[in-house]
Amino acid sequence: MFVYAMASSFLDNFSINHKQIIVVSSLFTVFFSFTSLLAQTPPYTIFTASDDAAPGAVVMSPVQSANQIYICAFNEEADMIFSAQTPERGFIFEPWGDDEFVFYNYSIRKWVTIDQNLIPTDTLGLNIIPETDYHDVHRFEDGSYLFVVINHVEMDLSENGGYEDAQILEPWMIHMDVEENILREWHGLDHIPVYAANQINYQQVDYLHWNAFDFDSLGGLLMSFRNISTIVRLNPTDWSIDWKLGAYGNDFQIEDPDWGSFLKQHDVNDLGGNRILLFDNNISFGDQPGYSRVVEYEVDTVEMTANRVWSYSHPEEIYSPAQGSVERLENGNTLIAWGNANASQGVGTLITEINEQEEIVWEIQLGEYFTVYRARKIPLSDIQGCIDINALNYDNGVLIDDGSCYFGVDYDGDGMLDSEGDCDDTDASIYLGAPEIPNDGIDQNCDGSDFIFIPGCTNSEAYNFNPEATNEDGSCSFQITLKVDMFLQGGAASLISDTWGLPGQHIGYGVYFFTLVVLEGFYEYRFVDDSGLIETDERSTYVSEPATLDIVCFNSESLCVGCTDPEFAEFNPFAEQSTETDECITPSMPGCTYLEATNFNPLTNLDDGSCIFPDPSDNSCPGDLDGDGAISTGDLLMLLVIWGQVCF
């Protein structure tokens, strides 16, 4: 506790130099290294973790209170691979260059960079007197950085219902080099008047509430101002305002059905191609839907239109009054942190990753009352590697040891140094290029995984496709359909092969089909008519995929010759018209061809579905059991046959 009190007294004096701040921050680290042992990991629940999640680690800083702040990283399986409790430090947690990370230190109200041991290495904008804003920070390739401080400007707003001595919180954006020289600066009041805000009748007026920036593909700077629900683009040459999109001074025709536009937004991102992506907190009253979303607009600065091209709201219609972030990932997925959603219900917020089909592929929920301002996905190599300082491949810019360290030794005597690719220098059977033993759970040849050998059919079109199989074993079989025309032969058809026979199913007009599953390769067969006559020549087809073969005539490789004119009784829609003989002989005479029908016509040769059958309930002679129109000996004999049966 003494360390904390001493640090606080130091921090009240803004005249201290840079080295003193580093010492104080280091003392904070030493002190918190003991207290953080009590609870290094925030509680969380895995809802979804699938193979469709983008590769990388999700980094964030969950916050419950000033003391319950953490910096964390989660892998694709939603396992927490790194966590540290960092009281009063966090909010944003991201890589800073090649070998550092950055977070916001609330105790000194500055951005601080840290090394792999979480020891401060620099305090950004140390000599700037106003407190640094905690919403965003950007590092350029040359090491210079961009951040915003809160400049307190006193103004008389009494003529507009405000205070005579109102304190205006003005965003003052600074581009600073590593020597803390100001390279460029931007003052909010020089470009956007205080009256842009809806409410100014407070002693302290946060009239813009800047919360994010991002550079577009042309070097312009996009800035997000929550309290006026507006995105502003600054010109790359002089940081003058090129355009405004949103509630204040809007320059665009916005097409955003059912929503109108965004409100109280966070985390603006340039996607290239004139598209921007942002987290739309929105509001829970009025004509709005009442829940938050992420939304993508296509911005046309020639026609001055902003059309919504995509948006997503959580299936549970989550509302986040504040905070929140969104990031488009390299594989097309979208990562979303839902800010302070659910906090009022006593549960934690969600972090969700969805694919391009808007399916949730990765999702966790933090413990009660935890919020997340921003989540980002970074390459695993940015956070894990070899952290053993004695190793040849020591990486001073990662936080997690992944077991990849090597030292240039050969402890197991297999003739290969660990630095040459021996991934387990305690076992002589394991080295780069060693023979693999399948399915034993050991990576003998150091290629990164055990050799899994599962024989089976690997063709996804096969009837017996095995998605688990790793090696094709020639067992693939495919469903095929064969058809034979028996119109000229008459009767039914069957199919026979070397091992079995199969009766055909009638399609119509004497055509029968056979559906069967056969192994890949040549399949030989013949058709048989219902008298047992087998085709003269054996048929053969090569099967390598599902197939339906063309109709063939019995004992022929081609279609049956027949009548193709539907006006004749000999009509066969599956036939091939002869060029030498006319197979169409008998003109069709449609009518009823069923003897038992009341309108049976013996002259018809084509049933047209017009038959009318007597209704059994209309029988005027109930004793006429045989239906011959008279009660006679035949009826008596039928009665005697059923005499004595017990009816139930």
The per-residue DSSP string of 268-284 comes to: EEEEETTEEEEEE---S
CB contact set of 37 (below 8 Å; sequence gap of 6+): none
Dihedrals φ, ψ of 424, to 5°?
-145, 95
**Does residue 24 have a pLDDT over 70?**
no
The per-residue DSSP string of 69-82 comes to: BEEEEE-TT--EEE
* C-beta of residue 311 within 8 angstroms of C-beta of residue 297: no
* C-beta of residue 466 within 8 angstroms of C-beta of residue 475: no
**Does residue 228 have a pLDDT over 50?**
yes
pLDDT of residue 370: 95
CB contact set of 323 (below 8 Å; sequence gap of 6+): 266, 337, 339, 340, 371, 372, 373, 374
* C-beta of residue 91 within 8 angstroms of C-beta of residue 64: no
Give the integer Cα–Cα distance in Å for 108 and 123. 10
pLDDT in tens, 437-467: 999 999 999 998 999 999 999 999 999 999 9
Give the integer Cα–Cα distance in Å for 75 and 36. 22
- End-to-end alpha-carbon separation of the chain, Å? 96
Q: Which of 89-103, 366-380, 597-611, 631-645 has the lowest mean pLDDT?
A: 631-645
* Segment 134-147 mean pLDDT: 96
CB atoms within 10 A of CB 454: 13
Residue 277 class from Cβ within 10 Å (0-12 exposed, 13-18 middle, 19+ buried)?
A: buried
* C-beta of residue 224 within 8 angstroms of C-beta of residue 210: yes
Q: Which of 91-100, 147-156, 286-295 has the lowest mean pLDDT?
A: 286-295
Tokens 């003392």 appear where? 27
pLDDT band of 225, cuts 50, 70, 90:
very high
pLDDT band of 172, cuts 50, 70, 90:
very high
**Could you give the 3-state DSSP secondary structure of residue 114?**
strand
**Does residue 647 have a pLDDT over 90?**
no
Where is 637: in which H helix or E strand? helix 633-641
Core vs surface per residue 570-586: b (16+ CB within 10 A) or e: bbbebbbeeeeeebbee
Residue percentage of the chain with pLDDT more than 90: 70
pLDDT band of 20, cuts 50, 70, 90:
very low
**Does residue 64 have a pLDDT over 70?**
yes
**Could you give the 3-state DSSP secondary structure of residue 511?**
strand
pLDDT in tens, 400-436: 999 889 999 999 999 999 888 899 999 999 999 999 9
- pTM, two decimal places: 0.67
pLDDT of residue 643: 66
pLDDT of residue 290: 87
pLDDT of residue 646: 59
The per-residue DSSP string of 222-253 comes to: EEEEGGGTEEEEE-TTT--EEEEEESSS--SE
491: nearest Cα among 504, 472, 476, 482: 504
* C-beta of residue 36 within 8 angstroms of C-beta of residue 26: no
* C-beta of residue 254 within 8 angstroms of C-beta of residue 280: no
607: nearest Cα among 619, 595, 617, 615: 595
Largest CA distance in the chain: 130
151: nearest Cα among 174, 136, 168: 168
pLDDT of residue 22: 34
* Segment 262-291 mean pLDDT: 91
Residue 590 class from Cβ within 10 Å (0-12 exposed, 13-18 middle, 19+ buried)?
A: middle
User: Which residues make beta-bridge pairs with 299?
Assistant: 306
Report how far apart, in Å, the C-alpha atoms of 581 and of each of 561, 563, 565, 570 are. 9, 10, 14, 13
Angle (CA) 179 219 265, round 5°: 95
Between 641 and 623, residue with greater pLDDT: 623
pLDDT in tens, 460-477: 999 999 999 999 999 999
Q: Where do the domains of the chain lie, and which CATH numbers do they carry?
A: 454-583 (2.60.40.10), 623-648 (no CATH)
Between 316 and 27, residue with greater pLDDT: 316
* Segment 266-290 mean pLDDT: 90
**Does residue 528 have a pLDDT over 90?**
yes
- For the chain, how are helix, strand and coil distributed in percent, rounded to 5? 10, 35, 55
pLDDT of residue 629: 67
pLDDT of residue 627: 66
Report how far apart, in Å, the C-alpha atoms of 330 and of each of 33, 314, 333, 465 are. 36, 21, 7, 32
For residue 207, what are its two tokens?
Answer: 């009239």
pLDDT in tens, 571-604: 889 998 877 778 888 888 888 888 888 888 888 8
Average pLDDT over the chain, rounded to an integer: 88
Most confident of 126-140, 148-162, 231-245: 231-245
For residue 295, what are its two tokens?
Answer: 């939304």
- Structure letter (DSSP) for residue 468: T
pLDDT of residue 478: 97
How many angstroms from the chain centroid is the CA of residue 504?
47
* Segment 564-574 mean pLDDT: 88
Q: Which of 66-75, 87-96, 326-335, 561-570 has the lowest mean pLDDT?
A: 561-570
pLDDT of residue 7: 30
For residue 173, what are its two tokens?
Answer: 């954006």
Give the integer Cα–Cα distance in Å for 361 and 642. 71
Dihedrals φ, ψ of 418, to 5°?
-65, -30
pLDDT band of 40, cuts 50, 70, 90:
confident
**Does residue 36 have a pLDDT over 60?**
no
**Could you give the 3-state DSSP secondary structure of residue 150?**
strand
Q: Which of 19-23, 47-51, 52-56 has the lowest mean pLDDT?
A: 19-23
* Segment 254-263 mean pLDDT: 95
SS (H, E, C) 7-35: HHHHHCCCCCCHHHHHHHHHHHHHHHHHH
Helix orientation angle between 2-11 and 18-35, rounded to the nearest 10 degrees: 150
Give the integer Cα–Cα distance in Å for 144 and 147. 10
Report how far apart, in Å, the C-alpha atoms of 33 and of each of 62, 118, 402 are. 18, 9, 22
